[in-house]
């Protein structure tokens, strides 16, 4: 994959894109029959392609591509720990170079604008690999960085990485003391006020910031400062009456606290953080199944005295190697996370909707693997729900501390489509999963991804937290998946389901769409909510459904597909504007099909776009990022999305909406 050259926000793209492939026109007398035949051929090829991608153990996993900060930080970690090897260094550098844009910058998503912090980290990693400042690609990058304000304008996390090597002063960074570990759960800004991904990152970083380590820098980075003699110019003040001003002064107070704090208290707090970190290490050595907490936890534990041969450190380092994807050209890309549970449940739903028999061996094996992945131990979620029995699923291979509601709902939907031979086990797993999901409902009737009522806005205001969303409020897409699942297990009329439906109806945007928290963006939100509402009993004639249909029809691209750029999170002018993609076209089709628009012109054009753009191997080309980690700040290209969602949409076009039998009655806990 190569980066595009258009990096500026520039004018909005027209709703016209060209197809990736050219189809051979037919002269069929019946256009409806011809379209159905084309859809059937497309679905058959895609189904074969998807089946071929299944692992012998029953799971699917596509590559999870983010941005080069993962690669740069992996190399910086190895440099800091003294475990850098030339092969890994050059392989990582080769990937980073391949993603540089023509203007010298690096973006956070395909086709996006250059991003300062990403460019600073990529540049620094290439310096580690031996690229010299006077090389044309490096000089261009440095010039752009200086034009954006230099290192001083980069995010806090980037400057923390630079501080590890003396390229930035620790005292010029926001303070986050390890004593935060002692704040009670009812107190504002305790660690459970943060979303799970932020919590796992912040705790080890408090250890790092308490130690303020500096490893000798192998070279200076003067070329990335606007004025090397004055690298950290004072930042403009903000009014004391504003939240930002209040938290800036809180940060100054924390810097004072560092100087006067009790050494005994600091020492015991560091010990408590150490125990907290180690208790959350997964069986595979990672933390939370995601790369950033693993990186910072390893640095923190090393500073606390754990040597590299300690079992905890050794397992953690080995786990990081499993995030590496080696390419044929010898480059090495680091995945921020791995998505086998998510990919497997979506693939199972897609194949079942495409017409595979419920007892097909591929589906049975996938169901068996998902059953084995159910989490029956308590995690951080139990802080808010201490009496709730466990029963969810995580996103990754190993992440027992943090099952998530979205995966759990989709796994239940997938299991409902499979005729597994161990029916009592299936019913028991579904019952446990549904009970856990119901117990994780927030007080407003909706669902977040990992926690209950994780809605305080205070963590987002901390100067330390400028790396993206750090809380986990309920979202329309997660709530929609839960509502769809509850209806599928016979609970459409349950008061808890109806509260979810009411929340979704209230969250509809003025234009008829829904915001997409975990996928890009309003196309994803709408593609999630409409099928859920209809499955839960909202008629296709309902005003909310009709408004959604009208919106989707109005934003369809001239080529028949749908697309939406990541910039829609930051600029409303980009809503539903972008090159057509297979995944986003499928999301729109899923909504339209659920709304009864199978014979409509928009569906016809969308199905034809999928048929016309399919690659010979049955897949679709999709370099664009359609997944979301943090809205705008962290974007994801799930490489299996281009398969599972088109297969689902084609299947529902050909076979209708799925008809699911209600599960056995749930126990009293539900």
Residues with catalytic annotation?
A: 406
* Token pair of 392 as six digits: 């969810």
* Token pair of 387 as six digits: 């009496």
Please check whether residue 472 is in contact with residue 193, taking contact to mean a CB–CB distance below 8 angstroms.
no
Please check whether residue 559 is in contact with residue 580, taking contact to mean a CB–CB distance below 8 angstroms.
yes
Q: Which residues pair with 404 in a beta bridge?
A: 393
Please check whether residue 66 is in contact with residue 335, taking contact to mean a CB–CB distance below 8 angstroms.
yes
Length of the chain as a residue count? 670
* Crossing angle of helices 340-353 and 641-655, rounded to 10°: 20
User: From residue 392, how far is each of 90, 363, 370, 372, 437 by CA, in Å?
Assistant: 40, 20, 11, 12, 7
Tell me the DSSP string of 293-315. Answer: HHHHHHHHHHHTT--TTSHHHHH
Distance CA 269, CA 207 (A): 9
Q: Which residues pair with 519 in a beta bridge?
A: 627
* Token pair of 382 as six digits: 């139990």
Instruction: Spell out the residues 6+ positions from residue 668 whose beta carbon is closer than 8 angstroms to its own.
Output: none
Distance CA 524, CA 531 (A): 12
Distance CA 358, CA 419 (A): 5
Could you tell me which of 636, 643, 516, 546 has the C-alpha nearest to residue 586? Answer: 643
- Owner of token pair 């930002």: 244
Instruction: Indicate the burial class of 509 (C-beta count within 10 angstroms; 0-12, 13-18, 19 or more).
Output: middle
Strand pairing report for 64-65 and 634-638 = antiparallel
* Token pair of 162 as six digits: 């630079």
Backbone angles phi, psi at 498, to 5 degrees: -65, -35
Backbone angles phi, psi at 419, to 5 degrees: -95, 80
* Crossing angle of helices 116-128 and 69-81, rounded to 10°: 40
Distance CA 606, CA 649 (A): 10
Could you tell me which of 653, 71, 88, 104 has the C-alpha nearest to residue 350? Answer: 653
Task: Please give the sequence-ordered ranges of beta strands (E in DSSP) within 113-172, or none if there are none.
Answer: none
């Amino acid at each position: 994959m190569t980066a595009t050259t258009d990096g500026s926000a520039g004018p909005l793209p027209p709703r016209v894109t060209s197809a990736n492939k050219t189809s051979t026109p037919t002269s069929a007398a019946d256009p409806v029959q011809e379209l159905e035949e084309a859809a059937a051929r497309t679905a058959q090829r895609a189904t074969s392609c998807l089946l071929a991608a299944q692992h012998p153990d029953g799971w699917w996993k596509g590559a999870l591509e983010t941005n080069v900060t993962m690669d740069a930080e992996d190399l910086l970690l190895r440099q800091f720990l003294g475990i850098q090897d030339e092969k890994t260094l050059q392989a990582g550098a080769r990937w980073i170079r391949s993603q540089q844009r023509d203007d010298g910058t690096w973006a956070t998503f395909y086709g996006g604008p250059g991003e300062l912090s990403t460019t600073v980290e990529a540049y620094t990693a290439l310096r580690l690999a031996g690229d010299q400042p006077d090389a044309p690609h490096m000089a261009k990058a440095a010039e752009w960085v200086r034009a954006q304000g230099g290192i001083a304008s980069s995010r806090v996390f980037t400057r923390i990485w630079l501080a590890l090597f003396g390229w930035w002063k620790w005292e010029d960074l926001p303070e986050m003391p390890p004593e935060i570990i002692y704040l009670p759960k009812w107190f504002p800004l305790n660690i459970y006020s943060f979303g799970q991904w932020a919590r796992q990152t912040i705790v080890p970083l408090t250890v790092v910031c308490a130690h303020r380590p500096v490893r000798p820098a192998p070279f200076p980075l003067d070329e990335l400062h606007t004025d090397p003699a004055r690298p950290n110019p004072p930042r403009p003040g903000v009014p004391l009456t504003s939240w930002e001003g209040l938290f800036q002064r809180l940060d100054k107070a924390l810097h004072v606290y560092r100087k006067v704090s009790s050494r005994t208290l600091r020492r015991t707090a560091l010990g408590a953080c150490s125990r907290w970190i180690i208790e959350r290490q997964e069986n595979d050595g990672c933390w939370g199944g995601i790369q950033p907490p693993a990186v910072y936890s390893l640095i923190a534990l090393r500073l606390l005295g754990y040597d590299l041969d300690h079992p905890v450190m050794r397992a953690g380092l080995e786990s990081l190697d499993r995030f590496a994807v080696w390419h044929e050209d010898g480059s090495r890309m680091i995945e921020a996370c791995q998505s086998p549970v998510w990919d497997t449940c979506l693939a199972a739903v897609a194949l079942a909707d495409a017409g595979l028999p419920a007892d097909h061996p591929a589906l049975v094996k996938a169901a068996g693997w998902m059953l084995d992945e159910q989490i029956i131990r308590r995690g951080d979620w139990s802080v808010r729900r201490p009496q709730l029995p466990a029963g969810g699923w995580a996103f990754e291979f190993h992440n027992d501390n943090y099952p998530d509601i979205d995966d759990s709902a989709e796994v239940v939907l997938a299991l409902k489509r499979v005729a597994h031979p161990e029916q009592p086990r299936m019913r028991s797993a579904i019952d446990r999963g549904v009970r856990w999901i119901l117990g994780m409902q927030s007080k407003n009737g909706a669902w977040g991804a990992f926690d209950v009522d994780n809605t305080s806005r205070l963590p987002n205001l901390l100067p330390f937290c400028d790396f993206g969303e750090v809380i986990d409020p309920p979202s329309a897409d997660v709530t929609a998946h839960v509502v769809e699942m509850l209806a599928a297990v016979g609970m459409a009329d349950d008061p808890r389901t109806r509260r979810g439906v009411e929340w979704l109806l209230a969250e509809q945007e003025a234009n008829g769409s829904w915001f997409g928290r975990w996928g890009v963006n309003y196309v994803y939100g709408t593609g999630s909510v409409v099928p859920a509402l209809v499955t839960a009993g909202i008629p296709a004639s309902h005003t909310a459904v009709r408004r959604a249909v009208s919106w989707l029809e109005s934003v369809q691209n001239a080529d028949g597909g749908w697309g939406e750029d990541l910039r829609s999170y930051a600029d409303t002018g980009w809503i539903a504007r972008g090159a057509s993609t297979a995944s986003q076209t499928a999301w729109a089709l899923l909504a339209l099909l659920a709304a009864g628009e199978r014979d409509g012109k928009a569906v016809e054009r969308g199905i034809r776009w999928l048929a016309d753009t399919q690659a010979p191997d049955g897949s679709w080309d999709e370099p664009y990022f359609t997944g979301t980690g943090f809205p705008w700040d962290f974007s994801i290209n799930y490489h299996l999305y281009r398969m599972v969602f088109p297969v689902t949409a084609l299947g529902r076009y050909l076979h209708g909406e799925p008809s699911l039998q209600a599960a056995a009655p749930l126990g009293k806990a539900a």
